[in-house]
Structure 1
């Protein structure tokens, strides 16, 4: 049992030793031709220039036509709101993630810190972006997260309400269409004219019936049978 425990402890020590060896000192690493001090110096020089620039220099930077420089000056002006007086330069960190290298210089002010961030393309160390942002407190982050959540939920519920209203309007549309159909006047179907042959057949049938009635009347008045005489023709006088 003791041997197993010793073996486990030895393995843990070996793993920790390998991990410690794998973590290189960032100040001694070669960042594709640039050193730690060079990257840190670039950030510190940028902070000094931005802090000490005059109004005329700021106007010149904004009118320079260089998008990165104009963006940097604008973000710096936004980040300087309500931060108070400058105290000191804080921690400098370098992070490599995939094909980018990020350098962050923390700037300590009286009310809240500010972070200047340089983003490089690692394969050629070309500057990709520079940003300046105020460091938010935990309470501010939670507030922003809550506001974003409420906004998202509000949008979802608004869309659902609109969909339900649209669906509820369908029954009114069907009633409207039904009312329009009922309001239409009924179309009378044209009466087909009676063919002449049918009219003649009807007239002949009427004559036969009339002849039978006349024969019955004569037989009744004379006391004879209808077989003793024949009605050959009927002349109508109009």
Structure 2
């Protein structure tokens, strides 16, 4: 029983999807706007752009009023997009795409060398115009070249990060070696000092014996006795 219900639900979903996919976009109501109204608006802008001279484009690009900022932006994008596209031919295909809260209208403008896409982006719930873009259509070779360049850049970034990680790990191996080397150098500096101190002791004792002999001889000479008759027990130095 459960399998039959699941099968029926699946068939219903398939029918709904097929109905949605087969819906004619020219008969859809786009939140109060018809297909023809949107097409007329976008194509009107496309015809105005193709009819503008270079001097008019430059004038629009210099507009600083915030109210017409979008128009100045469109003129700038149009000027950048029509470089090396050749002569204007005709208006191409017009398409409308709804994705979530965004409605996108695209108009193809055919030139001699390549086409240009004029795009209107609306917020669907109030049909407010958010942006107008103009982009040249890339050839298959250009798309492949860009994809290859992006791939190389991505691989380059990955390998660079891996090299940096390897260097950091290698540095952790060097730190103990440097610490041992520092300790060995410190012990090598301390050791000769101890040797010098131990060697200086016999020299001091020898000097004391000579001093005792000199003092004993002086006392014996002054008293007229022999050095065998007295013993020097201690010597106090005065500086």
TM-score normalised over the length of structure 1: 0.65
CA distance, structure 2, for counterparts of residue 156 and residue 174 of structure 1:
29
Aligned partner of 1:161 in structure 2 is 163
Question: Counterpart in 1 of 2:107?
Answer: 105
Change (3 A) 1:147 1:183: same
Task: Give runs of aligned pairs for residues 71-150 of structure 1, distance below 5 A.
Answer: 71-150=73-152
CA–CA distance in structure 2, aligned partners of residues 150 and 24 of structure 1: 42
Pairwise CA distance, 1:53: 2.4
Larger Rg: 1
Measure, in 2, the Cα distance between the counterparts of 1:149 and 1:119. 29
Bigger helix fraction: 2
Per-residue Cα deviation, 1:1-57 (whole angstroms, up to 9, x for no partner): xxxxxxxxxxx9xx7799458733322322212222221111111112222224443
Q: Distance in 2 between matches of 1:139 and 1:83?
A: 16
Identify the residue that residue 27 of structure 1 maps to in structure 2. 26
In structure 1, list runs of 5 or more residues that go unmatched: 1-11, 190-235
**Which sections of structure 2, spanning at least 5 residues, go unmatched?**
1-10, 195-229, 233-239
RMSD, aligned α-carbons? 2.8
- Report the count of equivalent residues: 180
Q: Residues of 2 paired with 1:122 and 1:97: CA distance?
A: 9
In 2, Cα distance between equivalents of 1:18 and 1:144: 35
SS of the residue aligned with 1:32? coil
- Corresponding residue SS for 1:129: strand
1:38 match: 37
Query: Which among 170, 187, 190 is matched to residue 186 of structure 1?
Result: 190
Once the two structures are superposed, residues 150-185 of structure 1 have per-residue CA deviations (whole angstroms, 9 ceiling, x without a partner) of: 110011111212222233334444333322222224
Q: 1:163-178 maps to which residues of 2 (within 5 A)?
A: 163-178=165-180
The 2-side partners of 1:98 and 1:77 are apart by 31
TM-score, length-normalised on structure 2?
Answer: 0.65
